[in-house]
Structure 1
Amino acid sequence: MSNKGPFLLDTASDAPFPPAELALTDPDGLLAIGGDLSPVRLLNAYAGGIFPWFSEGQPLLWWSPDPRMVFRTDQVHLSSRFRRSLRNSDWKIRADTAFAEVMQACAQAPRPGQDGTWITDAMLAAYVQLHQLGYAHSVEVFDDEELVGGIYGVAIGQMFFGESMFSGRSGGSKVALAALTRTLADWGWPLLDAQVENPHLLRMGADHLPRAEFLPAVRELVHRPGEVGCWTGRFGELAACALA
């Protein structure tokens, strides 16, 4: 199929996206421009293997890169050294108790090679709204009651789309990701979308999945019965030392 993007999105929030297979190869994965960050638009995007990614001052840009970075939820890797460091940890892990705080911490976290953040005020407001609707979730790591790490993303059906994570203390994001994927594996959710490659994700076991395999998997998983609503109760409180 030939590449024809980027497409200009219809102004109607519920207008369909073009097929992700039509995304550009240069820049890799750019599919569409414009639209809005309404809940229906965002949910339609993720269900089609598409996500927004843009900086302050840019138009809304929508992406579906090839290949896609994913975690098999039962294959996340923590090094032996890191596991040993967790054995005496008092950190606790919860879900959906500090969603906005996790997003804000992700926005403020320094990213090598990046100037600024894609988590704009508009993005924060949009995902907080998705969270209130029961589709966006955070996993938070606490030392006593201090937030020291976290991850957030979007869940549709039995597919989790990771958006960003942060470490307020060394290893905080690793603990959040490991706790999230272990829980998803226990629930029978096989994949976590990690979007694009970086060395940290590769070290933790992320793998490349060709878009031709990623999209059919997503389109099947988002139609499975999921867990809409607050995850705090079902997730419970996990001890970081249990990840060792």
Structure 2
Amino acid sequence: MTSVLACVLIASLGVGDLGPPSRSFGEVSPQPSAEAEFGAWEFQAAGARHGRLFPPQDLGLLEAPDREAWQKPDEIMDALGIADGSAVADIGAGAGWFTIRLARRVGPNGIVYAQDVQRQMLEAIRRRVAREGLRNVETRLGSDSTPNLPGGALDAVLVVDVYPEVERRVAFLQNLAAALTPTGRVGIVNYKPGSGGPGPAAAEGARVEVSAVEDDARAAGLRVLSRQTLPYQYLLVLGR
């Protein structure tokens, strides 16, 4: 999954039926290595760079002091209906900036699947949740064949600033939808084209019009439930 924001995402996903969410928190489900298979984009203090995985050694750059103010994590979680006891996924979790906030929101009766395609990122997340004393985060290594999410079990899936990297976007949304409960929601957060701010330059093709995401969602059989404008981004909430 900013002045400093990294999100890594699989380009195409498939959801296996893994049964109900596991409650053995903090464990990693074994998956084949995917480090070399995917492109990514990320943000650093010096600006955006496009087209490669975020280097794990730069994880310290991911905590912009002003991010809380413009990212509006509480508003995003509210719009997705994330509450105590929810089962959610953070796609392209990176260093776990959103993962930690999701874990606090869902509480000990909920679970957060922090997913990334780099093992080093997942290791960093495990260390972070251990420092925070959180026991409701389970890391998942994704690949091009499966996002390794439980089918039909999630109340919400959050995808922050990674949608522009998806090549087969309709299939991507269909596969995320397969991980949802009947009332579950997908939240897509992207930088607004031409909005400036901490995001990538529009010339890099890393900003997607909200109308394009809505068209993809409808083609995937999803409904647009709501739209919300953030300081530099938009939030699109989708449902089955």
- TM-score between both structures, scaled by the size of structure 2: 0.29
Q: Which has the higher helix share?
A: 1
Larger Rg: 1
- TM-score between both structures, scaled by the size of structure 1: 0.29
